[in-house]
Structure 1
Amino acid sequence: MKNTLLKTDEIGIFSLGGLGEVGKNMYIYEISNQIFIVDSGILFPDNHLLGIDYVIPDYQYLIDNQERIVGLFITHAHEDHIGGIPYLLKKVNIPKIYAAGIAVDMIEHKLNEHEDVKSPQIEVFKSHYKYNFKHTEMSFIRLNHSIPDMFGIVFRTKEGILFHTGDFKIDFTPVGPPAEYDKLAQIGSEGTLCMLSDSTNAEREGLIESDSKIGKSINELFSRIKGRIIIATFASNMYRIQQIIHSSILNKRKIAVFGRSMERAIEVGKQSGYIKIPKGFLISGEEINKIKDSDVTIIVTGSQGEPFAALSRIANGSHKQIKAHKGDTVIFSSSPIPGNQEGVNRTINKLFRLDVEVITHGPLADTHTSGHGSQNDLKLMLSLVKPKFFIPMHGEHRMLKYHRDLAVSCGVKPNNILIMDNGDVAAITKDSIRLAGHVQAGDIYIDGSGIGDIGSAVIRERKTLSEEGLFAIIITIDSSKKRLLSNPTIVSRGFIYMRGNEEITNELASIATKTAIAELNKKMFNELNMKQKIIDQLQSKIFEITMRKPVIIPIISDLSKTKETN
């Protein structure tokens, strides 16, 4: 089924996730009636998404057009770029996944955890590989990020070159292999038709520190600390994990690891060669207490204040194997992701209560650096690639607009830049770019094992329950005799305390009784109508008395129906 929004020879570019947000990245390129998917990520929920584990994009467009999909192309192995793959494969037929380096291991691990998912072939590419499809050649450019094996993707089409940067920063002294700046300059000299580029740090001025400098800073910190070191970082940041291991070995410290995702990352890192631990340095949780505090480094999850992560449980005193004590130093080798600051602060405060030293990234200690380029990095990318058309991606709306301004300062014409939302379709030819319309896009919530069975109405109800409470009223009637058989029973949870508020509850019971009798005496009795009338009457009265709007649940027990059943 052809995309009717596009004219003949137009290339379609849109996002199902990643625009107006930092997460659930999924970008679609439609070229010669073929669909190329770049990344399939998840978004970690904000506090207001009560009980939700992850947010994924709405895949409906891909379900409706799956016969045109040629493959899923992965830029790198962060969760906001690969975390949605199992859920995508449950809904959509993907012929092949194209991934490189550590992303291959991470995806295989992820798919092994979802036994009900049939994995397509994973095509392992290297930076010099090229793949040819109908009127399209795809190639790759190695860039630097906070995880190994990050690749930008180049599409050579009849209309011109398209370049998708993925996540990147400019690092001239990287921990891993250097970025392929010569390839960026090459596509720039050939003439890049359109570029989609990472906008995460588009507001940020100044220099993003090199990862190699952070390694030296961690070495220095470790050499000064006398007691036990507990250090938290992102499980996906292989380079940082290896730096921590290297510093521990330099200071003759044994290493213990806690947290499922951290254990998995180290296992994958060892398999791929990015994590190197000499024999005898990695110890189990049981061995920690047999070794002097000054000889131990504990690497843990929980750098973002996640409530069930290892560091949070240490701070709460609920971890089975590690109890924090005086003399410990906890290091956060990370910065809070937007929205996580409250959880991180809560963990830090609890650690201070345990009388441990806490070191976070700041003027006194370089313990972390961003994997996303600041304004200078983004301008260098624009200057090297020289795109005619530009679409900022991967960022909240203000970030996209900051990035637009940077592009204009680098010579891109303002009319050649599109700021888009998820689902907006850009139509591109060698001479033009336009907003062609909109495809279905939205949020799907993962709650436990359920995919999409929790809607926004349920989220609103959970929020109301958490803030306003619940008010239930049970009424027993005999609809055949048009009689109310007893006084209503009221149950309140998180709304008002029943004892001491008898006057309010009696008034509300009286309103419900009058409403129920009035509905019973109508010619055509309808139980649903009775419930709605009771909700309407109680809602206005409760708000008048208490200025609150609890969830109101009327429960009608009709004895005449019970008699009929018997």
Structure 2
Amino acid sequence: MAKGSRNSSVWITALGGVGEVGKNATLIECDGYLLLLDCGSQFPSPEHLGVDLIIPDFSYLLSRQDKFVGLVLTHAHEDHIGAVPFFLRQMGTRVDIHGTNLTLAMVAAKMRRHREDQFARFHPVGPGDTIELGPFRVTFFSVGHSIPDATAVLVETSAGRLFFTGDFKFSTETGEIDRTFLSRIGDRGVDILFSDCVRVENPGRTPPESTVVETLDRIIREAPGRVIIASFASNLSRVRHVLSIAQRRGRKVAVAGRGLQTSIEVGTDLGYIDAPASLFVDVADAERMPAREIVVLATGAQGEPAAALSRMAVGDHRDLRVREGDTVVLSSSPVPGNEESVSRTIDNLFRRGADVIWSAIEPTVHVSGHAAREELGDLVRLLHPSYAIPLHGEYRMQVLYRRLAIENGVAPKNVPFLEIGRRLRLKGGKAELDDSVPAGSILVDGLEIGGIDEAVLRDRKHLAEDGIVIVSIAMARDTGEILRPPEIIARGVAAESRVAPALEAACQAVERALRRLDPAELDVSFVQNRVHEVALSVLRQQSGLRPLVLPVVAEV
């Protein structure tokens, strides 16, 4: 048991990342001060029409800015740093950001694109470093993951010691996490372990990255033509190995996708990537080069519609065309919720004659950066915490983690689940769920934060499914007289031959309804409501359709 004061309390609140995968952000409060651990974003799902990004609701923290001591980042993946530019814009003041060199460099590159860098004050740290932030003592530990410079953190407070794994696995680029070191941390006492649980469904241990290197080397060596490899832009370890393999096999590399270009630039500046400039060619030149001389590194491994691979798959990329003889490798696994878009991309690639390789048919084309079940159990035994709480996982993953923690010595009542916005209070060595704070999801459309709500999404869904009917009315400004018959335009509704009679009937019904009214009593609002009511009623009765009806009243 850690030696926390019996009179002090620390509150931990998940602003995201529990019961879901993505937008990881955890708020820690002690002695009136607040510390934010990670600041991630999430991919929108298909029902989020027109939404670019989902970020946590920071309103509770924003209302206490004067007590905010800093942002600590565990690593540079989007689900841990993607919301940083939007958070800084909302804060509107300088924020102290702490993280490893690569993590901060990736954040800086992101903020330059969003023009929010004036709000950041960066503080680089390394594994083993300890920093003091108000009442929080934060120590960083190196862990294995699919991006270099990933860390776990130990947060020590007057109320107890909290260990956050971040995203981790035991295997690293150079070997494995130091188990003896972890055991020593456990011997000193850990009140609560907050653990990554996204791969708890997978038995055994997560293989090392070297497994993927061997597979990619074989694929590139044996490919009869061009090789297109799609991976996460932030998976710098994978990117570095692909560059090395291409150079060894005598192929040039074309980089398709701004995210990958940024990652390679940052990785090169910091020494994580050491590839000669002569290795790279422009994507436009790659299309004209002999196929066996090219490897294309592309974004779009998750089927994102605007990403390079997705555009290639539908023939919409400006410079590159997928053709027969190409070998396309998806060196990733779908993030939960992206399975359909990834499958659609694979289908489209096959239709264009490519040979497609992905994890379902070649398992070693990708290894996860997350610990599997056996490793998660190892960590519980090494740290032997009083409480173990799953983060970064959907509900079924949390349930399985609870079982695993109990199997490895944690009392059943000491494995609670966090809910987004529900505070957990640790006092006197005892952790209990407490009150809730404002929290949830904020939808980002372009650069607009929170301008999209459920009503907007319903309208967009309505438009996508049923189309729109515009009814145009001309009305005299001074007398209220309807000057000419209504005009009706339909877009995105069913086939014209089916709906034309219903549209004509709706137009006539609107005209009759307006002619029966006294012009002296008409105003624009009344006319709009009446037109909407009559047109929608007729369309529903005669065609069974329920389009979005938009009355447009012009006063002349």
Report the 3-state secondary structure (helix = DSSP H, G, I; strand = E; otherwise coil) of the residue aligned with 1:252: coil
Deviation at 1:499, TM superposition (A): 5.4
Contact 2:479–2:519 (CA<8 Å) still a contact in 1?
A: no
Report the 3-state secondary structure (helix = DSSP H, G, I; strand = E; otherwise coil) of the residue aligned with 1:451: strand
Whichever residue aligns with residue 322 of structure 1, its letter is L
Contact 2:303–2:345 (CA<8 Å) still a contact in 1?
A: yes
Q: Deviations over 1:197-220 (max 9, x none)?
A: 112122233442221111122222
Contact 1:96–1:123 (CA<8 Å) still a contact in 2?
A: yes
Q: Deviations over 1:503-558 (max 9, x none)?
A: 3224323443454456x449965543443344344444433443332111122334
Deviation at 1:439, TM superposition (A): 0.9
> Matches of residues 424-435 of structure 1 in structure 2 within 5 Å?
424-435=422-433
For residues 256 and 143 of structure 2, what CA distance do their matches in structure 1 show?
30
Of the candidates 454, 457, 465, which is equivalent to residue 467 of structure 1? 465
Contact 1:161–1:187 (CA<8 Å) still a contact in 2?
A: no
Q: Deviations over 1:375-406 (max 9, x none)?
A: 22222222222221232211222222222222
Deviation at 1:191, TM superposition (A): 1.9
Q: 1:149 to 1:514 in 2, by over 3 A?
A: same
Q: 1:134 to 1:216 in 2, by over 3 A?
A: same
For residues 504 and 225 of structure 2, what CA distance do their matches in structure 1 show?
63
Whichever residue aligns with residue 557 of structure 1, its letter is A
Paired residue for 2:110? 110
Paired residue for 2:528? 531
Report the 3-state secondary structure (helix = DSSP H, G, I; strand = E; otherwise coil) of the residue aligned with 2:118: coil
For residues 514 and 452 of structure 1, what CA distance do their matches in structure 2 show?
42
Paired residue for 2:126? 126
For residues 145 and 373 of structure 2, what CA distance do their matches in structure 1 show?
15
Report the 3-state secondary structure (helix = DSSP H, G, I; strand = E; otherwise coil) of the residue aligned with 1:210: coil
Paired residue for 2:545? 548
For residues 178 and 501 of structure 1, what CA distance do their matches in structure 2 show?
66
Deviation at 1:162, TM superposition (A): 0.6
Q: Which runs of 5+ in 1 are unaligned?
A: 1-6
Deviation at 1:164, TM superposition (A): 1.1
Q: Which runs of 5+ in 2 are unaligned?
A: 1-5
Deviation at 1:82, TM superposition (A): 0.8
Q: 1:202 to 1:537 in 2, by over 3 A?
A: farther
Deviation at 1:103, TM superposition (A): 0.5
Deviation at 1:480, TM superposition (A): 6.3
Most deviating of 530-539 and 429-438: 530-539
Identity %: 32
Whichever residue aligns with residue 411 of structure 1, its letter is G
Contact 1:142–1:180 (CA<8 Å) still a contact in 2?
A: no
> Matches of residues 142-291 of structure 1 in structure 2 within 5 Å?
142-171=142-171, 174-176=172-174, 178-278=176-276, 280-285=278-283, 287-288=285-286, 291=289
Contact 2:507–2:535 (CA<8 Å) still a contact in 1?
A: no
Most deviating of 205-214 and 495-504: 495-504
For residues 468 and 557 of structure 1, what CA distance do their matches in structure 2 show?
25
Contact 1:193–1:430 (CA<8 Å) still a contact in 2?
A: no
Report the 3-state secondary structure (helix = DSSP H, G, I; strand = E; otherwise coil) of the residue aligned with 1:492: strand
Q: 1:499 to 1:476 in 2, by over 3 A?
A: farther
Paired residue for 1:352? 350
Q: How many residues align?
A: 550
Report the 3-state secondary structure (helix = DSSP H, G, I; strand = E; otherwise coil) of the residue aligned with 2:75: coil
Paired residue for 1:91? 90
For residues 249 and 259 of structure 1, what CA distance do their matches in structure 2 show?
20
For residues 222 and 300 of structure 2, what CA distance do their matches in structure 1 show?
24
Report the 3-state secondary structure (helix = DSSP H, G, I; strand = E; otherwise coil) of the residue aligned with 2:377: helix
For residues 255 and 221 of structure 1, what CA distance do their matches in structure 2 show?
15
Contact 1:152–1:163 (CA<8 Å) still a contact in 2?
A: yes
Q: Deviations over 1:151-184 (max 9, x none)?
A: 111112222211111111222xx32464243332
CA RMSD of aligned residues (A): 2.5
Contact 1:71–1:94 (CA<8 Å) still a contact in 2?
A: no
Q: 1:192 to 1:94 in 2, by over 3 A?
A: farther
Deviation at 1:225, TM superposition (A): 2.2
Contact 1:74–1:81 (CA<8 Å) still a contact in 2?
A: yes
Most deviating of 268-277 and 22-31: 268-277
Paired residue for 2:3? none
For residues 439 and 324 of structure 2, what CA distance do their matches in structure 1 show?
51
Q: 1:110 to 1:473 in 2, by over 3 A?
A: same
For residues 256 and 481 of structure 1, what CA distance do their matches in structure 2 show?
67
